[in-house]
Amino acid sequence: MTTTPDGPATALPGRPPVVDLTAWQTARDELLVREKAHTREGDALAAARRRLPMVELDGTVEVVGPDGPVPFLDLFQGRDELVVYKHMWYDGAPHQGQCEGCTTTAWHLKDAVYLNARGVSFAILTTGRWDEVASYVEFMGYTQPWYSVRDVDGPVGGSMGYITCFLRDGDRVFLTYSTTGRGNEPVNGSLGLLDMTPYGRGEAWEDNPEAWPEGRSSCWFWRSDADGNATWGPTSRPVPQWTRPGATPVETLGRHGHHH
Is 160 in contact with 88 (CB distance < 8 Å)?
yes
Give the whole-number percent of the chain exceeding pLDDT 70: 94
Compute CA 175 distance to the chain's CA centroid, rounded to the nearest angstrom: 20
| Per-residue model confidence (pLDDT) at position 250 | 87
Task: Give the residues across from 216 on adjacent strands.
Answer: 203
Residues ≥6 apart with Cβ < 8 Å to 219: 100, 101, 104, 203
Q: What is the pLDDT of residue 10?
A: 65
pLDDT at 217: 96
- Stretch 162-182: mean pLDDT: 98
Q: What CATH code would you report for 55-189?
A: 3.40.30.10
Is the pLDDT at 256 greater than 80? The verdict is no
Residue ranges covered by each domain of the chain: 55-189
Alpha carbon distance, N-terminus to C-terminus of the chain: 57
Give me the helices (H) in 144-195, please: 189-194
Give strand pairing partners of 120.
81
Distance CA 249, CA 174 (A): 44
For residues 87 and 102, is the Cβ–Cβ distance under 8 A? yes
Handedness of CA 134, 106, 96, 150 (dihedral sign): positive
What are the pLDDT digits (tens) for 75-127? 999 999 999 999 999 999 999 999 999 999 999 999 999 999 999 999 999 99
- Give the C-alpha separation, 210 to 214, whole Å: 10
249: CB partners within 8 A, 6+ apart: 225, 226, 235
Query: 255 pLDDT band (50/70/90 cuts)?
Result: confident
Contacts of 215 (CB under 8 A, 6+ apart): 201, 202, 203, 204, 205, 206, 208
pLDDT at 8: 53
Strand pairing class (62-65; 68-71):
antiparallel
Q: What pLDDT does 9 receive?
A: 55
C-alpha to C-alpha distance for 143 and 134, rounded to whole angstroms: 11
